[in-house]
Amino acid sequence: MQKGRKKKVRYIQKMPKIVYFSPRGQAGRPDEIELRVDQFEAIKLADFQGYDQAEGAKHMGISRPSFGRILNEGRKIIAEAITTGKILKIRIGDVQVGVRQNNLPKKEEIIKQSQRVEQTSRSRLLEISKTRPQTQSK
């Protein structure tokens, strides 16, 4: 029986396509370590897509401190898998997951897009100001 309050639903963009990573070059069957899908999502948002913790938390529908804790747990699991040569298995775990069918772009792409929009707006304003007759104040 689970103690404490019920965990909040953690939203992810979509389930990962690959859920099993295995190291090469190690004789025998290595141990497995599990990465929960919410930890995977936090790592993807923060480390791959470049969102800060507040933005990542907003996209997952959780608090910023919870996002930071989930992110640190996930990073620790990945570090252990890499340094000890363990198989990394991504699974749902003991959390409630809600899937939102919208893929967020990398933060860099959002910044570039907003810069392009700003440049376009500025050039349009300059064109408009050039076509308007200038009025002189007396």
> Is there a domain that residue 67 lies in?
yes
> Is there a domain that residue 2 lies in?
no
Q: Which of 25-29, 60-64, 71-75, 121-125 has the highest mean pLDDT?
A: 71-75
Residues of the chain with pLDDT > 70: what percent? 82
> Is there a domain that residue 1 lies in?
no
Q: What is the predicted pLDDT for the residue at 1?
A: 57
Reported as a single tens digit per residue, the pLDDT across 64-98 is 999 999 999 999 999 999 999 899 999 887 677 77
Residues of the chain with pLDDT > 90: what percent? 36
Of residues 35 and 92, more confidently modeled: 35
> Is there a domain that residue 124 lies in?
no
> Is there a domain that residue 48 lies in?
yes
Domain carrying residue 63? 10-104
Q: Indicate the pLDDT class of residue 137, thresholds 50, 70 and 90.
A: low
Query: pLDDT at residue 62 above 70?
Result: yes
**Number of domain units in the chain:** 1
What CATH number is given to the structural domain containing 82? 1.10.10
pTM over 0.75: no
> Is there a domain that residue 55 lies in?
yes
Q: What is the predicted pLDDT for the residue at 18?
A: 86
Q: What is the DSSP string of the chain?
A: ---SSPPPPEEESS--S--EE--SS-SS---EEEEEHHHHHHHIIIIIS---HHHHHHHHTS-HHHHHHHHHHHHHHHHHHHHHTPEEEEE-TTS-EEE---PPPPHHHHHHHHHHHHHHHHHHHHHHHHHSPPPPP-
